[in-house]
Amino acid sequence: MNNPHQGARLTVHSRELIVARRAAGRPARQIAEEFGVSVRTIHEWLRRYREGGHGALGNGASAPVRRPRRLGEARIALILDLRRRFRMTAAVIAERLGLARSTVARWLARHGVGRRAALDPPPPVRRYQRERPGELIHIDIKRLGRFDRPGHRVTGSRTKGSSRGAGWDFVHVAVDDATRLAYVEVLPDERKESATAFLGRARAWFAARGIRIERVMTDNGSCYRSRLFRQVLDAHTIRHIRTRPYTPKTNGKAERFIQTLIRDWAYGTTYASSAARNSDLQRWLDWFNLRRPHSALNGQTPTMALNNLMRSHI
């Protein structure tokens, strides 16, 4: 049969002519020009002829030599079940089901269970709450952009009325673990001097409410690792607990408070400028401490929780 398949550049007869002309001594480059193909194609058909004779000049399948094996849904489900329930490796599953190991490994990876660690359930989140006010204070910093006009959240445009280059405000927060009572300041930076001064004022603020700080938890920011910060802690016999690197959830109460603070205070109202936003902080903070019920406190406000705990520890 001399009809080429859809992907063929040469008919079977043309391939036979190539072999004949090359056998007659004609250069491969000249033959390629005569048939309108590359020299590489000429050499390929000559190689096939040398290895398989005239039969190798016929039309073969144009599909790739290797085809990925198609598996039905039931077969795939069985592979995944053996992996998840019995923790079998790809090699063991392949042997059990008579499949190629690469096929099994591909389906395991596609469904996210290729690695052994993916089979282990995530460790439960260890939630804790201290019993005494001041037993643990969570301290953290959130950076907020300064602006002198409403931003894109209000105008809907990221270019109109932009306040780019206005700088940053740094919101320092201190949250009591047992009561969620919070002390917050907006400062111009997060340097060790500012962080240490904030710690001193926070300690005095909590002390005015009958709370003596026993421990503080921070991340590993340079301001918290400074000697200056350590000196203030030591002077007041405060133990310093630092979170593990790159695990902000360890200081989760500070993180969640910051989320509430940013959502309800920083972005909850349209402010004409960042200065106006900062001036409104104390009003919001009073509302949070005195009036906002907290689900983790059984519906109590932080101040109510403080009063109840203080009475119980007299």
Q: Which two tokens stand for residue 94?
A: 């392949």
State whether residue 210 is helix, strand or coil: coil
The domain ranges of the chain are 12-56, 73-118, 137-312
Encode pLDDT of 170-206 as tens digits. 999 999 999 999 999 999 999 999 999 999 999 999 9
Encode pLDDT of 6-22 as tens digits. 446 688 888 999 999 98
**Could you name the CATH architecture of 137-312?**
2-Layer Sandwich (3.30)
**DSSP string of 45-66, one letter each residue:** HHHHHHHHGGGGGS----S-SS
Closest CA relative to residue 271, chosen from 260, 283, 259: 283
Report field, pTM of the whole predicted structure over 0.85: no
Encode pLDDT of 78-133 as tens digits. 999 999 999 999 999 999 988 999 999 999 999 999 998 888 877 665 666 778 99
